[in-house]
Amino acid sequence: MRRTFLAAVLLACLCSPAPAQSPESDPIPVLSRQERNFIAEALADGMAEQALGKLAQDRAETEPVRRFARRMADDHALMTDRLADMALRHGVPLPHDLSLAARAHMSSLRDTPDGAFDRRYMAAEEETHARAIKLYEAQAERGGATGDIARGALPTLHAHFEEARRIMAELARRPAPPQTQAPPGDAPPGTSGSSE
C-alpha cells in the first residue's frame, strides 16, 4: 500500500506540467564582491567625470578643451547609465554624491587661476583615464556581465586618453600664462604670513 502511494505521488509529480517561468522570474546571477566593488568604483568615477566635464565647459579657455569637456560629460553619462542599470538589478547601492576625493579635486580646479585651468584639467584627465583603463582592463579579463560592460567601455576610455594626451601636447607648445602674484603683504592661503 505504501509503495502504491509513493508511486502515485511520483507519477503525479512527473505528469503535472512545470510552472511557466516568465523572464522576470528568472534568477539574476549573483555578483561577486569584486564585481560589486567594480560597479561602485566605476559609478563614482563616472559621476566625477560628468561633474568635472560640466565645470570645465564653463571654465575652459580654449575650444579644444571645451569640446573635450563636453564629450567627457556626455560619454561618461552614457557609461554611468549602463552601470547604474546593472547596480539597480543587483542591489548595488548607487552613490548619491561625489566622493570626498572628487569634491576636493573639483574645489581645487574651481580655485585654479585664470590662464592655468586648461593645463590642470587636461593633466588630471590624462591621469584619471590611465587609472580608469587599468580598472576596466582588469575587469574585462574576469568575464561575466561586468566584464562585458568593461570590454564595451574600453575603446571609449582609450579614445579619451589619447585625445587628452594630444590636447596636453598642444597646450604644452603654447607659451605658459603669466603667473599672477599676490599683492605685497598678502600671504598665500594656508600660510601664516610670517617667517619664523
Is 179 domain-assigned? no
Report yes or no on 23 lying in a domain.
no
Domain presence at residue 93: yes
pLDDT score, position 196: 37
Q: Examine residue 151 and state whether it is found in any structural domain, yes or no.
A: yes
Low-confidence ranges of the chain (pLDDT < 70): 1-29, 176-196
Write out pLDDT tens, residues 16-45.
444 444 445 555 668 899 999 999 999 999
Grid cell, residue 5, equals: 502511494
pLDDT of res. 175? 72
For residue 186, tell me if it sits in a domain: no
> pTM for the complete prediction?
0.73
CA distances (Å), origin 175, targets 62, 124, 170, 181, 183: 14, 20, 10, 18, 24
Domain harbouring 152, CATH code: 1.20.1260.10
Looking at the structure of the chain, the number of domains it has is: 1
Residue 107 sits in which domain range?
Answer: 31-173
Beta carbons within 8 Å of 135's beta carbon, 6+ residues apart: 38, 41, 42, 45
pLDDT at 171: 92
Q: Residue 45 belongs to what H/E stretch?
A: helix 33-59
pLDDT of residue 28: 63
Considering the domain boundaries, does residue 46 fall inside one?
yes
In-domain check, residue 148: yes
